[in-house]
Amino acid sequence: MPLVSCIMATKNRPLFLKQALKYFQQQTYKNSELIVVDDSLEPCESLLPREPRFRYVRTAETVLGEKLNIGIRHSSGEIIQKLDDDDYYHPHFLETTVSTVLRSGHKDAVVAMGAFLVLVVGHPHLYSAGDGWFAGGTFCFFREAWDAHPFRNLSWREDVAFLEDHPQLQKFPISNPELYVLVRHGNHTWNTIKMDSPVLPSEVGMNPTQFFSSRSPYPKSVSQILPPDDVRFYCQLAEAVSASAPS
């Protein structure tokens, strides 16, 4: 199986980064490396395991798109997997995206979650995003696409711009929502629903947290999807957010 380079940009979120490192270690697809690109005020290198497949890149403060480019330049894999530092990835996530991009049979392919779940920190249940998405935090593609045109130097919507810059790419959405949970916690680069999202015209312009919170709850509970340690992490996070909120 080919080497897969997972690229993760992070900034001032050490608690989330620790969770993200654990999710990577739990992946069943093992021929992989993780490149963490960090421009936090305080370096996070000490959080990374001392293992060859973990690589830490410290950089001056820069935009998200350039951080992804920096990570890919430091990577060695034939396949690139984009990972966010604040979301949940099921242990079979990477195995699924890689097998999908390989089964596509050609190099002009990009894979992402077409359906996923949403956890709004502080809410008691999960929400289903529905179908028709192409989640930026789950992009998987052959390195050759990036070689032809890297990510734009943007602080947000760099994933949408990447697709615009690669019109030849064939999109392969994965409809297994339990593989990926988008976590909404109040500090995001995605803050507005746009027309390129699978929503009604009346929902364009909404804050994503507001939008997803208006969806029907997912039939399974948080504890049925996430392991107990992860449920405790998000409960503690909710308590911390509540304690810091103005009274």
Tokens for 114? 């077409």
What is the C-alpha separation between 11 and 39, in angstroms, rounded?
6
pLDDT in the model for residue 247: 45
CA 67 and chain centroid, separation: 14
Is the confidence at residue 40, as pLDDT, over 90? Answer: yes
Q: For the residues 47-74, what does the mean pLDDT come to?
A: 96
Q: What are φ and ψ of residue 84, in 5° steps?
A: -90, 155
Domain membership of residue 237 as a residue range: 4-244
- The CATH number covering residue 207 comes to 3.90.550.10
- Please compute, for residue 69, the number of CA atoms within 13 A of its CA located in the half-sphere on the CB side: 16
* Secondary structure (DSSP) of 128-186: E--SS---GGG-EEEHHHHHHS---S-SS-HHHHHHHH-TTPEEEEE--GGGEEEEE-S
Give the pTM.
0.94
- Please compute, for residue 42, the number of CA atoms within 13 A of its CA located in the half-sphere on the CB side: 7
User: Residue 19 in contact with residue 233, Cβ under 8 Å?
Assistant: yes
Radius of gyration of the chain (CA): 17
What pLDDT digit, counting tens, does each position of 181-207 carry?
999 987 777 788 887 788 888 888 888
- How many distinct structural domains can be found in the chain? 1
Q: For the residues 149-166, what does the mean pLDDT come to?
A: 95
